């Protein structure tokens, strides 16, 4: 048996961020279990990317991984352009709308998931207080009076280097939408099929992306063009959310015909589109775990909630889960004066659960409101929607509030995600 203070199941962006946040603020011994390998970057960009807001960038900076991310590749953007394909409405956001607080900076960064995960992984590997278990999948989990026992799916055979079970005071499920940990604690799920499939791919655009995130609302759903790294500023990652039937039709098109449809859908605002990668499709489902905390087990990130990608906030929500949980545990240790005491305080974990579930619920509701607003196609509704959006575009105070919310600039952020004002 090997004993740890915290076992994190899942070494994705959220799980690794939690491990580093805990090590930044405590001396806890951390175990991370995940069999998903880390792959080296290739010259071609990864199709899966994330829109990182200022709160998440600040978190990475405070964990000292941001320089490693910057040394690889990322694309900042200073503007957002959103429009209704068949309506009058359009919204333009700029970093200048925020005033002096973020003058000459960025609204956010588009970064390949692999770039972020590799930087976090390397930082965690260098920490003597973090140990990885990557050879075998987990098989069972049982909670005792003061610890959780977790076994692997291979028998204990020391001569063959098989893995002995682990014991931890707290287990955290950061293992994605199909979470193994969530199944072990039998946490009920609230789910809703968005009746959308997301097509993701990498494209090139003849007029360049102009350091701008572009999003057009089509009758069948939103299409986003997210700017990718230089050298030519002509590469974007697309996220095309549409009906399952339309997704099937689009992915069956030739690369040339698919690119033509993207050019038409974007009104030629980025010039002629060229598809430069494979197309990947996955169904979109809203998920919300009923229990973020159960006994000595906590769920964070996609294990606890998944939302529609139309605003690109899913990963930022998960990263703040990690930062908030680390802060809760750190505060508990400070209060108790020792890490030898109970890390699974019901009072502290329930407070964490209430706060993060409330945040996730608000985000789910906001995404649903936006999706429903743009899904109605009756002429009268489209006209009113266009007028309303155009009016909003002219109201700078309202736009500033919307941008601050999207960038995670809130008063109740975890300390590691708070930007220090000069």
Per-residue pLDDT of the chain (422 residues; tens, 9 = 90+): 799 999 999 999 999 999 999 999 999 999 999 999 998 888 888 999 999 999 999 999 999 999 999 999 999 999 999 898 876 778 888 888 776 555 458 999 999 999 999 999 999 999 999 999 999 999 999 999 899 999 998 755 544 556 788 999 999 999 999 999 999 999 999 999 989 999 999 999 999 999 999 999 898 889 999 999 877 899 999 999 999 999 999 999 999 999 999 999 999 999 999 999 999 999 999 999 999 999 999 999 999 999 988 777 889 999 999 999 999 999 999 888 766 668 999 999 999 999 999 999 988 888 777 766 666 555 665 556 666 666 666 666 666 777 777 777 777 899 999 987 54
Answer yes or no: do 38 and 174 share one domain. yes
Q: In whole angstroms, how far apart are CA 406 and each of 55, 66, 153, 316?
A: 10, 20, 42, 10
Pairwise CA distance, residues 113 & 133, whole Å: 21
Answer yes or no: do 148 and 107 share one domain. yes
DSSP-H helix ranges across 227-337: 244-252, 255-265, 314-336
Answer yes or no: do 369 and 384 share one domain. yes
Answer yes or no: do 154 and 39 share one domain. yes
Neighbours of 232 (CB within 10 A): 9
DSSP state of 46: P
232: its two tokens:
């030519």
Query: Buried b / exposed e across 177-190, counting CB within 10 Å, b at 16+?
Result: eebbbbebbebebe
In a domain, 422, yes or no: no
Question: What pLDDT is recorded for position 32?
Answer: 98
**Which DSSP helix (H) or strand (E) runs through 27?**
none
In a domain, 44, yes or no: yes
Question: What pLDDT is recorded for position 393?
Answer: 63
- Among 284, 305, 339, the domain-final residue is 284
Residue 79: strand, helix, or coil: strand
The CATH number covering residue 25 comes to 3.50.50.60
Question: What pLDDT is recorded for position 159?
Answer: 43
Pairwise CA distance, residues 49 & 131, whole Å: 27
42: its two tokens:
């290739």
Pairwise CA distance, residues 58 & 65, whole Å: 10
Question: What pLDDT is recorded for position 90?
Answer: 82
Answer yes or no: do 74 and 200 share one domain. no
Question: What pLDDT is recorded for position 225?
Answer: 97
Count the domains in the chain: 2
Vertex 276, ends 272 and 282: CA angle to 5°? 105
Answer yes or no: do 111 and 209 share one domain. no
Output the DSSP codes for 168-192. Answer: EEEEEE-S-TT-HHHHHTT--EEEE
Answer yes or no: do 138 and 109 share one domain. yes
Starting at the edge strand found earlier in the chain, the sheet holding 108-112 runs 49-52, 108-112, 75-77
The CATH number covering residue 232 comes to 3.30.9.10
- Among 266, 284, 302, the domain-final residue is 284
Answer yes or no: do 377 and 321 share one domain. yes
Pairwise CA distance, residues 304 & 285, whole Å: 13
Sign of the Cα pseudo-torsion (17, 308, 50, 391, in order):
negative
Answer yes or no: do 170 and 213 share one domain. no
- Contact, 235 vs 209, CB < 8 A? yes
In a domain, 400, yes or no: yes
Residue 36: strand, helix, or coil: coil
DSSP state of 90: E
Answer yes or no: do 67 and 175 share one domain. yes
- Among 222, 254, 284, the domain-final residue is 284
Residue with tokens 């999706």: 371
Q: In whole angstroms, how far apart are CA 56 and each of 21, 66, 120?
A: 12, 10, 13
Residue with tokens 């076994």: 151
Range of the domain at 172: 2-190+285-417
Answer yes or no: do 178 and 221 share one domain. no
- Contact, 171 vs 150, CB < 8 A? yes
In a domain, 27, yes or no: yes
């Amino acid at each position: 048996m090997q004993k740890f203070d915290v076992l994190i199941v899942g070494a994705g962006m959220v799980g690794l961020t939690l491990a580093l946040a805990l090590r930044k603020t405590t001396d806890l011994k951390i175990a991370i279990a995940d069999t998903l390998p880390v792959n080296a970057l290739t010259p071609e960009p990864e199709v899966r990317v994330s829109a990182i807001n200022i709160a998440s960038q600040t978190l990475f900076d405070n964990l000292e991984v941001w320089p490693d991310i910057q040394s690889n590749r990322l694309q900042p953007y200073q503007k957002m352009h959103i429009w209704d394909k068949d309506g009058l409405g359009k919204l333009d956001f700029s970093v200048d709308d925020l005033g002096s607080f973020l003058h000459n900076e960025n609204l956010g960064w588009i970064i390949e998931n692999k770039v972020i995960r590799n930087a976090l992984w390397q930082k965690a590997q260098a920490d003597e207080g973090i140990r990885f278990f990557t050879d075998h999948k987990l098989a069972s989990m049982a909670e005792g009076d003061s610890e959780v026992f977790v076994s692997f799916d291979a028998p204990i055979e020391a001569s063959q280097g098989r893995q002995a079970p682990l014991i931890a005071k707290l287990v955290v499920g950061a293992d994605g939408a199909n979470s193994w940990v969530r199944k072990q604690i039998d946490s009920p799920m609230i789910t809703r099929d968005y009746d959308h499939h997301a097509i993701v791919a990498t494209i090139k655009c003849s007029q360049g992306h102009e350091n701008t995130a572009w999003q057009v609302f089509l009758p069948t759903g939103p299409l986003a063009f997210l700017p990718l790294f230089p050298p030519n500023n002509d590469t974007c990652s697309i996220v095309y959310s549409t009906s399952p039937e339309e997704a099937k039709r689009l992915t069956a098109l030739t690369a040339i015909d698919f690119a033509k449809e993207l050019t038409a859908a974007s009104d030629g605002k980025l010039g002629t589109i060229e598809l430069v990668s494979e197309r990947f499709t996955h169904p979109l489902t809203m998920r919300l775990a009923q229990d973020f905390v159960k006994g000595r087990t906590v769920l964070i990130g996609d294990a606890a909630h998944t939302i529609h990608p139309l605003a690109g906030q899913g990963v930022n929500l998960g990263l703040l889960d990690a930062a908030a949980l680390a802060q809760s545990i750190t505060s508990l240790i400070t209060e108790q004066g020792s890490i030898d005491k109970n890390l699974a305080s019901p009072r502290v974990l329930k407070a964490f659960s209430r706060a993060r579930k409330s945040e996730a619920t608000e985000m789910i509701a906001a995404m649903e409101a936006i999706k429903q607003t743009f899904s109605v196609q009756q002429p009268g509704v489209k006209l009113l929607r266009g007028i309303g959006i155009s009016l909003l575009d002219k109201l700078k105070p309202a736009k500033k509030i919307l941008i601050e919310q999207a960038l995670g600039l809130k008063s109740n952020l975890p300390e590691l995600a708070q930007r220090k004002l000069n």
